[in-house]
Amino acid sequence: MALPIPMADLWRGDFLESRHLGHAVLCDETGAVIRAWGDPDEVVLPRSSVKMIQALPLLASGAADAAGLGPEQLALACASHNGAAIHTERVNAWLSDLGLGDEDFRCGPQMPADREAREAMIRAGAAPCQVHNNCSGKHAGFLTLNRHLGGDGDYVAPDHPVQRAVLEAFETVTGETSPGYGIDGCSAPNFAASLTGIARAMAWFAGAAGREDGLSRGAARLVDAMTAHPALVAGEGRACTELMRAMGGRAAIKTGAEGVFVAIIPELRQGLALKIADGATRASELAVSAILVELGLLDPAHPAVTERLEAPILNRRDIETGHIRRAPDFP
């Protein structure tokens, strides 16, 4: 078992104040490991980084087409969104088309991360609804699949038909039997896999457009939706949205809580999975940016990239006191 390697360093003046270690794996379409940093066999909970896998049964079952879902809904099914109006208005319309309401969700309410939406809610003295939850698009997908399957309302239960379908898809595309699950922040089970298995799944998505089976066709539609609508996948100021825009649709990327990030790279037919050992998002954003620059997919001079590869550390007077940068020899 290999140890995690240094990926991101935080400097305060001339002092190395903090160092983030992590693991990462790059796989090709055959599932072979092209390159690994740290331990490729590290087993992780991928959290929200694998929402595109959780959305696969929605398409493979025919539920998405039966409900008339388009690319915007499919992007939201893969999203960890900010709760901005562009997100909540679309999810509410989706629910309405299903004949359902906010009370049918099982994700729980969450204050919007979007500043405009959050401040409007505070001024109005209003409380957040479940539609504001960053996972409400994924849950709208679960509800659509649940209606198609005829399941009961507790669609997040691990033994529910919806989650059994998710597990089957997860094990199919990772090529592994999941060793178990944890319950995610939105109450749905989150199945564990090795980083190699997750990278293998992302590479499988990357090559999906060249295959004709139903599961692959669904995967290709999800990738296209994510790259066509990056603002729906996350939101303004977020790494997923800004870096996908910077790549001009060349890759689909997705963050997950606790320092996880994945990338689907169709032009290379490769997939990437990474995990920061201490769970730091600032380090996972730097690490995925650095690897995508190394692969020639991101311009190192693009503002969305420099903001993450050479992020300044400001104090409360907006004085720059340090910066975060990639560790020596990474990637």
What gap in Å lies between CA 235 and CA 107, rounded to an integer?
A: 19
Q: What pLDDT, on a 0 to 100 scale, did the predictor assign at position 311? A: 87
Provide the residue type at 94 as one letter.
W
pLDDT tens, the chain, 331 aa long: 799 999 999 999 999 999 999 999 999 999 999 999 999 999 999 999 999 999 999 999 999 999 999 999 999 999 999 999 999 999 999 999 999 999 999 999 999 999 999 999 999 999 999 999 999 999 999 999 999 999 999 999 999 999 999 999 999 999 999 999 999 999 999 999 999 999 999 999 999 999 999 999 999 999 999 999 999 999 999 999 999 999 999 999 999 999 999 999 999 999 999 999 999 999 999 999 999 999 999 999 999 999 999 889 999 999 999 999 999 999 9
CB neighbour class for 15 (10 Å; exposed up to 12, middle 13-18, buried from 19): exposed
CATH code for the domain of 302: 3.40.710
Domain that residue 172 falls in:
5-326
Structural domain count, the chain: 1
pTM summary value: 0.97
Report yes or no: 143 and 174 within 8 Å, Cβ to Cβ: no
Distances (CA, A) of 76 to 52, 148, 257: 10, 19, 17
81 inside domain: yes
Kindly provide the residue ranges of all beta strands, DSSP E only, lying in the chain, ordered along the sequence: 5-12, 15-28, 33-37, 43-44, 181-183, 189-191, 193-194, 252-256, 260-265, 270-276, 310-314, 320-326
What gap in Å lies between CA 238 and CA 252, rounded to an integer?
A: 14
Q: What pLDDT, on a 0 to 100 scale, did the predictor assign at position 47? A: 98
What gap in Å lies between CA 188 and CA 262, rounded to an integer?
A: 20
Q: What pLDDT, on a 0 to 100 scale, did the predictor assign at position 132? A: 98
- Of 257, 21, 231, 221, which Cα lies nearest the Cα of 141? 221
Q: What pLDDT, on a 0 to 100 scale, did the predictor assign at position 1? A: 79
331 inside domain: no
Angle (deg, nearest 10), helices 195-206 and 161-174? 90
What gap in Å lies between CA 89 and CA 202, rounded to an integer?
A: 30
